Amino acid sequence: MIDLLANECNEGEPALPFPTRPLVLIDRIIEEYIIPEEKKAEVLKQLYPFSPVPALTAKMLDIHEDKTFRVRDFRVTRENNRNWLVSPYYHLSGGTVIDWFPP
């Protein structure tokens, strides 16, 4: 039973069709997608887990950093066979989309 769960978790999700670059975190190096400006709204709509999807011009607060940012400055990482929508400050304190709040 445990092996089946492990395999299910490792399947992940398809990678996005963008090149990546290394992103250095405190304890490891991961991959960050290089998303062209003209594709950012599409990617945000695809990955944002809540409704409504904020405008790219909206401001959000990363609660881990206690700093605001424009949504258009989001990052998307590839970790453990998954795509993660994260704060522009992710490399500092690990804030993902669930840590974004209106300021």
**% the chain with pLDDT above 90:** 85
pLDDT value for 10: 58
Residue 100: pLDDT over 90: yes
Distances in whole angstroms, Cα of residue 9 to Cα of each of 6, 12, 13, 18, 96: 5, 6, 10, 23, 19
pLDDT value for 11: 76
Are 47 and 77 in contact, with CB atoms under 8 Å apart? Answer: no
Residue 2: pLDDT over 60: no
**Stated pTM of the model:** 0.86
* Segments making up each domain of the chain, as ranges: 2-101
